[in-house]
Structure 1
Amino acid sequence: MPRPRLVFFRLNESDLPGFVAGHFADHVRCLEQFFEVVLVTEDADYDEVIDRVKPDLAMFESGVYARPGRSVRNTHRHPEIPKIGFLDSDAYCLTRSVFLADMEQWGVETFFTHATSATGYASEIADRTFAWPNFADRRVFRSYPGDRTQSILLSGSRATNYPWRVAVDRLLRENFPVRSLPHAGWFSRAATAGMPSGEAYARTLSDALIIPTCGTIAEELVRKHFEIPAAGAVLVTERTASLEAAGFIDMENCVFAAPSDVVAKVEHLLDHRGEREAIAAAGQRLAHERHSIEDRDQLRQWYELQKDCRSGERVVQRELFGPLTIEKLSDRRSPVSPVSPAGLDRRLIDEGRRLLERGDPARASDRFAQVLNLHFEPEAALLLSRCWLAEGRPELARQMLEYSTDAVVRVHGAPRPDPVEWAWLIRATLCESAPTRARDLALEYPTLRHPELDRIRWVVSAVTAAPVGFAERRPSLTLHPVAPQAWPAWRAALEDQLRAVDATMLADRVHHVPPPLRELAGAPRADLSDRAGRSARRAVQLSKRVRARLEREWARLRTPAVGADHLSVFQLLDGRPIDVVVSLAPPSDVQARLDDLVANDGSGVGIVRVGRNEESTATTFSPRGLTSGLAPALLDRIPDWGRAFVVAGSAAARRLSVGQLAGCEVFAVVDGPVDPTPVERGLRHSVAWRQADEEMRARVEAALASRRMRVWQRTRPDGTVTG
């Protein structure tokens, strides 16, 4: 029986690491098990491609690797061809907004994703999003000839969105001989040239007895969860619902561990060869028999089932690894695939949202800042902006929302921003007593629709006496579900935000804005001609400072920074083993130099940025590393991040304790007061620390923007410096 023909539109960046290109190839090879695949990687005319290829199914990819400027024209043609979208990003990544905008533009309404926790982050599309879980090809990931020469292999990123991995890696380094396989990022082919991929990577895994990994803050099912056991090593990981759904059982085919017991469990495995080999063999059988490339037929199942769906029915995926089935439609909005339990970030967001709803924006902002210190997430950014508006700080709210929407539209080339974020950007601008600029923003993206956006446009139209248009189309997809709210309550909340910044006259005008006629059915219409559109686009320009900051942020993510002298952390600290650089609110020029040091380092050093720098005023914007992140609970976690080089601004240093530096190897205070800070006085009386010599201090000062510093080094029991 011939396979159905699938045309796959994948318009991604080209200069990506080899291992990412390998993942792309794996996706295609997996699809080829069930379809005849025609891959389209350049801008295309959908009408022409369909006429030429004559496919049975069209698939569109978008997400973190999407190429700016991508274009698929005429996707409204050939409605008889089913369409599916493939979300290729982490479940919490801001490029989910890029995906939603692309799918909306291309007319795609059914989605698949390898991020098995994605439905918990995008409830608006949970009723049409299926899981296509990661896998490990058993022909590549297997046991290779030869003895396993490495006891423990530490592999993968140690960024802040991998908290379990960071904590466990540190504990294993301290207690066992380990080998590290540094991770050099996801976006630069040059920076990752030394990273093994494909068979070379599989052979590296096959050379180890035990390998830990985790599923990020989302408690996700990542590729390593299958690659490690498939290669014949013992998988050590944190217990999650997704892993248990995949068939993993503690001490039978994997090892579930927490930082509190991982050392004891690993020691037990190393001492009991027979038990260790039995677990490894069972894990390999599970990966090869249930999680190889041939086992991911979810798209083919959907394709066959949707042809048989009748009115009042839909395709569902009741179990993550179970068969798709057809069910009668009882609740149109209920998820069609399992929703995973909330991970660390979603728990913090939920807690912060409850605090905000109870009228406590100060405590709520702390929760959202903690999320942003783990990873930039649009949900946390929007909710933190709402906290700032409630506290009378609209400039910070506007800048945060500019950052988020500009990253989606300008950096990743999405056709439009998230409608709820755009609505709150207009709202924050209005709260800056800038109704004219708010009107200009309201005129942007005239086809973008959402009840929240429609309401703020209605208000702006009323207070500026200028027509603002509303497109006749259904609401645009958003990452931010909004609970229905009566007009008087919605308007009163906006009035309160205006009065919080003493915009009394504007608040009075808002107070008299009548409710939308049938929710905008009778709203004034704007001139949506090309001339008006061009005028609005010219009027709306982000500040040069925010644009420049965004370019610097993304340049550091995508390419290796090169300082004037190419200095790295390894060189600066004379080869002292360091897992992470912890930046505690240093001045901005020092932060920039720390970023360069880490980017130039080839040993896989991570960086954690915490706290707004001490030069900041109350209106200084930062998309991450926010002041509330300096709370003691977060500082207490510094030892969990591994062997650290901690660089603290003077204000941050005054909040530290000696115990919080338990995992620290080198500690530097930038522009500190003449008298030592309390933590330095504690270090002076500790036999485990000593002040660095003049040569070391001068080297650190020269590397970090020539700022005046005091530098401390950890010592051995005999008084010599560690490292």
Structure 2
Amino acid sequence: MNSNVHHRKPRLVFFQWDHQPNANAAGYLLLHMQQQAKCLATHFDVVIISRDCDYAEICDRYEPDLTLFESGYRSHGSRRIKITNTNTHVAVPKLGLHNADPWCDRRAGFLSDMEQWGIETYFAIATMTPEYMPAVKENLFVWPNFIDPEVYHDYGQQKVIPVTLTGQVYGLYPWRQTVFPMIRDRYPCLVSPQHAYESKLASQLLSGEAYARALNASLVVPTCGTMGGEVVRKHFEIPGAKACLVTERTAAVEAAGFVDMENCVFVDGHNVVERLDYLFAHPDEIQRITTAGHSLIHSRHTVNHRPQIYQWFLLNKGLQFGEKIIQSGPFGELAKVKRVAKHESVHIVGKASDRALLNQGDLLLEQDRVGEAKHCYARCLDYVSYLPEAKFRLAICALREGDADRAYDLLVDLVKVTVIEYGAVDPDPVEWAYFLLALICKGQLERARRLQDFYPSLSHEEFRRARLVIAQLGCSGGVVAGLYGRERKSIHQVPDRSDSEWLTWFDNILERCQQPDLANVLRQAPAGGSGTSAKVTAPYFKGDAGWRLRLYSGVDGLMVKLRLTNLRPNVPPLPEFRYLRHLVRALVPKSQRGAMRWIRTALSWPPV
């Protein structure tokens, strides 16, 4: 037998999004994706699949030892690929890769993908992701950011730039908003323009070697890890290119090995000028810190120092009953432990500003101080305008204030992000449950009943309770008991209540939303059963748009009867989700859609 067989690398098939070069995209985004593949190749024979494919056919062709699925990316010109037949080749272990910011609004899409693909173990590139997805943190490991030392190293550039200011400066980066202007107004600076990822000018930003050389020619370069206290690539790129890192002190940065005035400089708005004045007056100090930072990065944070996925692969092969895999920290190694020992992975417990505001708002909401709670949740959106946890809580506040229309609009937007913008098979189960509840609060009980089974794979405690309400209000034919299947994970955390406490809470919500008849029926209905003895008949189609709603409902029902579920859109049959637009896209070839213009005009559809 050939001795090389014993030493071959295990084969990893990496299902990566289609990150082909985009004329308008920032060049460094594509480099990040290429560097991830390069990092995996240090331990694996990597096969990258970036096209729509059949999982069974890919496994038959490449015979992988492990498969890795990229998911949850907030596309900047990249295309999410479609993968079918993932329920085959069960002997091949599968991992999910959350390749996104921890607060990203595609997290619900990521969890939907994982459920559809049968994946139960995940890696994330962000150290704070476990704090943002606590429902899955037991099976979530960190494969943290790193640099390619072939790009980020000491080029021997003359230090002709006192300070380089690079990166975006808006609400997500409060430290930069405070510190950058103070630096810019006092010291000579090279300032990079703040082009957004999606901007047509993004392609003009420095990337790769040009960016690394600019850093190498700089004395000091400040950056931060956003309001979430994350470790971003710049934390490693700056000292990796042998410039002095000036940054914010956070738990994640310290976990990466950074120590103030030893291998970096921690500053805030109160001492940044004082510290930089000292450093520029003592160039030997800058050189000492810069050299130590460079050594830290090249000894701990390059493509050669990220074996976590490979470690999981080796440990999982020999995993015995009663054992599990844990990680010693976000930059640490993985190890096997006995489950009875109750050891857990060590995650960063930071001081993310949005998490603090959410917790504060939750305490206020519990005290029925709805206005103050709303203020906290709205402030979260100053950091991340699309933060789903804040929008969901604002919908709850709207229900508490009796504004069912506002709650409905917020929940529609959340569902749209996941099933339309991201393209997941189904939405977050908690968002869907409260979407149905908002319909009930709007008096559209029958509409909620018709939609409750639209996503048959969804199962969650809050969704069960929404179905229980529909049953007790007399719009379901039986008892709702227990979950329909394994509970789907949600990005949302809701108060821990018993069924009776929850029903009392929702009874109050109905009263506030001017639905006293529904509230009265809910109070009279037997717990856990159908309230047929006092059921309320609420019109499904109301107002001038009734004929359109009948059409949407009828068309969707016809798709089910004709067994065309594979062509049925994954969006609810409602005009606000553009159901017919998605149906036309599924049924009509793109070349023939022009013939449908007369229908679109008659029905006032949006353009296809």
Query: Separation in 1 of the partners of 2:406 and 2:517?
Result: 22
Query: Separation in 1 of the partners of 2:46 and 2:57?
Result: 17
Aligned to 2:560: 530
Aligned to 1:370: 379
1:404 aligns with 2:414: yes
Q: Secondary structure at the match of 1:61?
A: strand
8 Å CA contact 1:316–1:326 kept in 2: the answer is: yes
Query: Separation in 2 of the partners of 1:175 and 1:460?
Result: 64
Aligned to 1:205: 215
After TM superposition, give the deviation of residue 24 of structure 1 in Å: 0.2
TM-superposition CA deviations, 1:243-302 (whole Å, max 9, x none): 111111101100011111011111111111001110001100001111111001111111
TM-score, normalised on structure 1? 0.71
1:307 aligns with 2:337: no
Q: 1:13 to 1:137 in 2, by over 3 A?
A: closer
Q: 1:530 to 1:109 in 2, by over 3 A?
A: same
After TM superposition, give the deviation of residue 372 of structure 1 in Å: 1.1
Query: Separation in 2 of the partners of 1:416 and 1:68?
Result: 19
Aligned to 1:120: 131
1:382 aligns with 2:416: no
8 Å CA contact 1:416–1:445 kept in 2: the answer is: yes
Q: Secondary structure at the match of 1:443?
A: coil
After TM superposition, give the deviation of residue 538 of structure 1 in Å: 6.5
Q: Secondary structure at the match of 1:140?
A: coil
TM-superposition CA deviations, 1:344-391 (whole Å, max 9, x none): 111111111111112211111110000012102111111111111111
TM-score, normalised on structure 2? 0.84
1:62 aligns with 2:68: no
1:23 aligns with 2:32: yes
Q: Secondary structure at the match of 1:193?
A: helix
8 Å CA contact 1:126–1:335 kept in 2: the answer is: no
Aligned to 2:273: 263
Aligned to 1:5: 11
TM-superposition CA deviations, 1:6-41 (whole Å, max 9, x none): 000012454343211100000000000110000000
Identity within the alignment, %: 36
Aligned to 2:576: 542
1:140 aligns with 2:146: no
Query: Separation in 1 of the partners of 2:193 and 2:268?
Result: 22
Q: 1:173 to 1:35 in 2, by over 3 A?
A: same
Q: Give the counterpart of 1:43 among 46, 52, 60.
A: 52
Aligned to 2:231: 221
Query: Separation in 1 of the partners of 2:372 and 2:483?
Result: 38
Query: Separation in 2 of the partners of 1:339 and 1:152?
Result: 30
Superposition map of 1:236-255 within 5 A: 236-255=246-265
TM-superposition CA deviations, 1:25-81 (whole Å, max 9, x none): 000000001100000000111101001100100000011245666311110101111
Superposition map of 1:414-453 within 5 A: 414-453=424-463
Query: Separation in 2 of the partners of 1:171 and 1:407?
Result: 37
TM-superposition CA deviations, 1:87-141 (whole Å, max 9, x none): 0111111111111111111111111111100001111000000011111122211
8 Å CA contact 2:18–2:80 kept in 1: the answer is: no
Query: Separation in 1 of the partners of 2:569 and 2:230?
Result: 45
Q: What's the C-alpha RMSD, in Å, of the aligned pairs? A: 2.4
Q: Secondary structure at the match of 2:419?
A: helix
Superposition map of 1:493-512 within 5 A: 493-512=505-524
Aligned to 1:345: 354
Query: Separation in 2 of the partners of 1:481 and 1:350?
Result: 11
After TM superposition, give the deviation of residue 404 of structure 1 in Å: 1.4
Which consecutive unaligned segments of at least 5 residues does structure 2 have?
1-6, 531-556, 582-608
Aligned to 1:298: 308
Letter in 1 for 2:502: W
After TM superposition, give the deviation of residue 159 of structure 1 in Å: 2.2
Aligned to 1:665: none
Q: Give the counterpart of 1:316 among 321, 326, 340.
A: 326
Superposition map of 1:612-623 within 5 A: none
TM-superposition CA deviations, 1:679-703 (whole Å, max 9, x none): xxxxxxxxxxxxxxxxxxxxxxxxx
After TM superposition, give the deviation of residue 214 of structure 1 in Å: 0.4
After TM superposition, give the deviation of residue 536 of structure 1 in Å: 10
Q: Give the counterpart of 2:107 among 66, 77, 96.
A: 96
1:75 aligns with 2:86: yes
8 Å CA contact 1:68–1:411 kept in 2: the answer is: no
Letter in 2 for 1:327: V
Aligned to 1:711: none
1:131 aligns with 2:161: no
After TM superposition, give the deviation of residue 528 of structure 1 in Å: 12
Query: Separation in 2 of the partners of 1:160 and 1:441?
Result: 38
Query: Separation in 1 of the partners of 2:177 and 2:93?
Result: 43
Aligned to 1:359: 368
Which consecutive unaligned segments of at least 5 residues does structure 1 have?
519-526, 548-723
Letter in 2 for 1:175: R
Which of 507-516 and 227-236 deviates more?
Answer: 507-516
Q: Secondary structure at the match of 1:304?
A: helix
8 Å CA contact 1:449–1:471 kept in 2: the answer is: yes
Q: 1:149 to 1:315 in 2, by over 3 A?
A: same
8 Å CA contact 1:12–1:65 kept in 2: the answer is: no
Question: How many positions carry a matched residue from both structures?
Answer: 535
Aligned to 1:596: none
Aligned to 2:592: none
8 Å CA contact 2:402–2:512 kept in 1: the answer is: yes
Q: Secondary structure at the match of 1:3?
A: coil
TM-superposition CA deviations, 1:403-430 (whole Å, max 9, x none): 1110111011111110001111111121
Superposition map of 1:588-599 within 5 A: none
8 Å CA contact 2:238–2:244 kept in 1: the answer is: yes
Q: Secondary structure at the match of 1:506?
A: helix
8 Å CA contact 1:129–1:337 kept in 2: the answer is: no
Q: 1:31 to 1:272 in 2, by over 3 A?
A: same
8 Å CA contact 2:370–2:397 kept in 1: the answer is: yes
Query: Separation in 1 of the partners of 2:477 and 2:211?
Result: 60
Query: Separation in 2 of the partners of 1:478 and 1:230?
Result: 38
